[in-house]
Amino acid sequence: MQWWQEAVVYQIYVRSFADGDGDGVGDLGGIRSRLGYLELLGVDTLWLTPFYTSPMADHGYDVADPRGVDPVFGDLDAFDALVEAAHEHTLRITVDLVPNHTSSEHEWFRAALDSAPGSPERARYHFKPGRGATGDDPPNNWQSVFGGSAWTRVADPDGGQGEWYLHLFSPDQPDLNWSNPEVWADLEKTMRFWLDRGVDGFRLDVAHGMSKPEGLPNALYPPSKLLADAGGDRADPRFNHAGVHEIHRKIRSVLDAYPGRMTVGELRVADDNRFAEYLRDDELHLGVDVRLAKAPFDAAAVREAIERTLAAVATTSTVPTWTLANHDMSRPASRYGGGAAGGARARAMALVLLALPGTVYVYTGDELGLPDVDLPDEALQDPVWERSGHKERGRDANRVPIPWDGGQPGYGFTTGVPWLPMPPEYGALTAAAQLEDTASTLSLYRRAIELRRNHPGFKGGSELEWFGAPDGCLAFRRAGSTLVCALNTSKASVPLPPGEVLLSSGPLVNGMLPPDTAAWLA
């Protein structure tokens, strides 16, 4: 068993975790100062979102120099110090890589703008003439995931209206042309750069992107449908193109020279068979699966998501991954209904999550039960807000900084002004307050992670056995194990399965499992 096949990975949204220098933005030094907390929580691996040099149009997913640290997050010395300290705390460190696109401030893209159509500088991206007599129409009908056309027109070096370039995300994130060998050579250099500095693995952003079909044909979808999250549908030419697998084989060949290091891909691929293709023995080690995170709080839907995730990896030699959220999604406490019920449901789902075989991802702040924050318009920073013409508020609500202790404005996150406002209700949810409260969400996570690591009931295989359960409920155990996880999403209390209760997400009533509650039994 490799370490990544049974890890509890904690996703750190670097901007929002801990601010070491008082500028209101989280940084590498801040993370280092909070490693003790992560050790207490019991996670074994960290995933850091991009901390590379960036103009921050998409908060770091627009990378201007993939081998440099942005000054707002620290410098290379701070990174090296963090890796060393994390390893001393027996925490592994995985970092994001963004191979699909660069920032428009990347030196390659600046050079492309200064060069003529047809030049080698432009050939690192997707530049094309427009359609129509004067080239005023974009080269095809592709839409940006963040809204609007996926093409932006540039002025030629001589000042006239020129070519268009492709950006599946914001215009500040031009897509790289992966049929250009320089693009791979540069990613390889970047991977070795960070591997040689001691990272334990990579999360590959948009791992189903990169490769594009020859000639960039029109999508047969209407633009409105293309706006919806790309699900790897065959009719959507923007993502999940067959050529991507050759790229993953190259990535894997680099990793294979660094035993014990791993890659996990962000795979927004709805079809189970196509998902599995990325996990062949010479491609990714793991794929991020958001099926469970997308399921509503309903036992039948949760069971279906779990079974589909298991099915998607069944034909591979890898393990499933599970998560309830990430920096792109509404937080569980809000998504499951908000208020007290939403909080209780998020806690119940944490026990489902942590009972599952394979690798688990916990998004920072979910262990505190943080809700999404209702931010005022003027505070919003996600490019989705502007790109959608203020129709979609974007992802800032679930990226508000972590409340550590004390009160407003910074709650111990920063001595300055936090980059997104932290609301009054955070006062009761700080890590410090929850560490002292045995009934807190943080205490539940700590106990659950500890049991997951040490209890023999978790040593079972990767198959699940389902028990008969009342309507709106589910119960499962790993094949060969005695530990049962039961979840009640119905409106009535139900009898518990037989066994000793090891942990429950809320109080049990007369030995019954109340609504919005889960329990582990041995």
Q: Give the residues lining the site for ligand ISL (CB under 6 A).
A: 58, 61, 98, 145, 169, 205-206, 229, 266, 268, 327-328, 384
Pairwise CA distance, residues 331 & 293, whole Å: 10
What's the CA angle centered on 129, arms 123 and 133, to 5 degrees? 165
Q: For strand 512-513 and strand 321-323, is the pairing parallel, antiparallel, or unpaired?
A: unpaired
Residue 519 Cβ, how far from ligand ISL at the closest point, in Å? Answer: 33
Pairwise CA distance, residues 50 & 195, whole Å: 15
- Residue 349 has φ and ψ, to the nearest 5°, of -70, -25
3-state secondary structure string across 492-506: CCEECCCCCEEEECC
CA dihedral (388, 392, 397, 398) positive or negative: negative
The CA dihedral of 15, 18, 22, 23, to the nearest 10 degrees, is 0
Of 46 and 98, nearer to ligand ISL (C-beta) is: 98
**Which residue type does 113 have?**
L
- Alpha helix stretches (DSSP H) within 228-382: 244-255, 272-277, 291-294, 299-314, 332-335, 339-355
Catalytic residue among 6, 19, 266, 366, which?
266
Of 102 and 414, nearer to ligand ISL (C-beta) is: 102
Q: Comparing C-alpha atoms, which of 458, 429, 266, 260 is closest to residue 347?
A: 429
Residue 100 Cβ, how far from ligand ISL at the closest point, in Å? Answer: 7
- Residue 491 has φ and ψ, to the nearest 5°, of -95, -5
Q: Which letter does DSSP use for residue 17 in this model?
A: H
Residue 293 Cβ, how far from ligand ISL at the closest point, in Å? Answer: 12
Pairwise CA distance, residues 456 & 136, whole Å: 65
Residue 375 Cβ, how far from ligand ISL at the closest point, in Å? Answer: 16
Q: Which residue has the tokens 């699909």?
A: 100
Q: In what order do the strands lie in the sheet with 161-166?
A: 127-128, 161-166, 151-155
Active site residue 205: yes
Active site residue 137: no
Give the distance from CA 372 to its chain's centroid. Answer: 16
The beta strands (E) that lie in 102-208 are given as 127-128, 151-155, 161-166, 201-204
Catalytic residue among 19, 172, 200, 205, which?
205
Residue 456 Cβ, how far from ligand ISL at the closest point, in Å? Answer: 36
Count CB-CB contacts under 10 A for residue 36: 9
Compute the residue count for the chain. 522
Active site residues: 205, 266
